[in-house]
Amino acid sequence: MNSEAISRTPPLASKLPEVGTTIFTVMSSLAAQHGAVNLGQGFPDFECASHLVDAVCDAMKAGHNQYPPMTGVPALRQAVSDKIATHYGRRYDPADEITITAGATQAIITAVLAVVHPGDEVIVLEPCYDSYVPSIELAGGTVVRVPLTPGSFRPDFDRIAAALSPRTRAIIINSPHNPSATIWSRQDMLRLQDILAPTDVLVISDEVYEHMVFDGRDHESAARFDGLANRSFIVSSFGKTFHVTGWKVGYVAAPAALTAEFRKVHQFNVFTVNTPMQHGLASYMANPGPWQQLAGFYQRKRDLFREGLARTRLRMLPSDGTYFQCVDISAVSDLPEADFCQWLTREIGVAAIPLSAFYGDGFDQRVVRFCFAKQDQTLQEALTRLARL
């Protein structure tokens, strides 16, 4: 046998044949190449609180450097339980109903793998975060795409109800919503609860932006509603809340029976999560101020950014939550969203993300997304450049 045959890499059939380089990687690379202000990828360009870093360092110095419990450091699970009870009025047992995860993305895929069997259907509401569909496909599930109402991005409950079938295993919801920056109302949650009541459909509720709801409105967590909480995996993120996205620490709250299945998968796809950071977060959470002040912190940035956008021909859509602002580009360009974002990065020097990237079929409605989780000077520089539009 010749050496070429011996040394060849065997071919394989991809489990994710439609997945390539993400739009976030593409646009961030283009932004770096052209020296553009990167308002595409959703992460802060400012530091977290110094005493949070100190708390992690103190945990390291105290010897918290080996494996923690698989389910998470008890003090952090207790802190999460207390926070949910305070904000949403539901008490989750920290021993049996809260699990610390390696970020929200791991929490979502673990929940999907725990409950979705080959052939099961899972409803996703588009536009949606890009990890949902691959997670379902890796579990062997069938993705059922239901669009949010174009323009308003409100849930269309008639279409959701029509999408339910005997094979529906779960629905993934997300509020505050990435990418549209809309939030679900109490009436929305009650309507979903009513639709699901006669079914055994589970809910994966992505609530990573829970503390970024503006204009005095409340976040309507699935935890507030008994009929949803009893069938839901509720996912959140310390990275989003405390400006430490690179730490990749999140959590899942779910009833004990669901948590037991979740943990069966969790122990084999990540086992456990960074020990000193868990201890540091538990210590930091003794003071509720950081997340209680988060909405005001980001609302000020939103308002600063919107004031500047008002001087351009971009038409702003509402931004009720998250740290994103969507704009309609129709008055500025005839280009498709993706092409416009590339042009904006090259010629204007500001990177954005096309909303079409969040749809399976690339639906283009002339809307792009900016991230305003940036230092004020970063936003001002971006606005100076966008003023050319």
Same domain assignment for residues 61 and 183: yes
Same domain assignment for residues 163 and 252: yes
Same domain assignment for residues 114 and 229: yes
Return the pLDDT at 41.
85
Same domain assignment for residues 91 and 164: yes
Name, in order, each residue with C-beta under 8 angstroms of 147's C-beta and a sequence gap of 6 or more: 125, 126, 156, 159, 359, 363
Own/partner pairs for 191-195, CB < 8 Å, 24+ apart? Answer: 191/155, 191/157, 192/155, 192/157, 192/160, 192/228, 193/225, 193/227, 193/228, 194/227, 195/157, 195/160, 195/161, 195/164
- Tell me, what amino acid is at 307? E
Same domain assignment for residues 309 and 274: no
Same domain assignment for residues 37 and 58: no
**Per-residue model confidence as pLDDT tens digits over 183-205:** 999 999 999 999 999 999 999 99
Would you say 222 and 189 are in contact if contact means Cβ atoms under 8 Å apart? yes
Give the CATH number for residue 340.
3.90.1150.10
In which band, very low, low, confident or very high, does the pLDDT at 358 lie, cut at 50, 70 and 90? very high
In which band, very low, low, confident or very high, does the pLDDT at 4 lie, cut at 50, 70 and 90? low
Same domain assignment for residues 297 and 376: yes
Return the pLDDT at 5.
64
Q: Express as a percent the part of the chain with pLDDT over 90.
A: 90
Question: Domain boundary residue among 262, 287, 312?
Answer: 287
Same domain assignment for residues 26 and 56: no
| CA-angle at 104, arms to 144 and 241, nearest 5° | 125
pTM score: 0.96
Q: Whole domain around residue 125: which residue ranges?
A: 52-287
In which band, very low, low, confident or very high, does the pLDDT at 3 lie, cut at 50, 70 and 90? low
Give the CATH number for residue 115.
3.40.640.10
**Per-residue model confidence as pLDDT tens digits over 155-175:** 999 999 999 999 999 999 999
Same domain assignment for residues 174 and 37: no
In which band, very low, low, confident or very high, does the pLDDT at 42 lie, cut at 50, 70 and 90? confident
Name, in order, each residue with C-beta under 8 angstroms of 103's C-beta and a sequence gap of 6 or more: 237, 239, 248, 249, 250
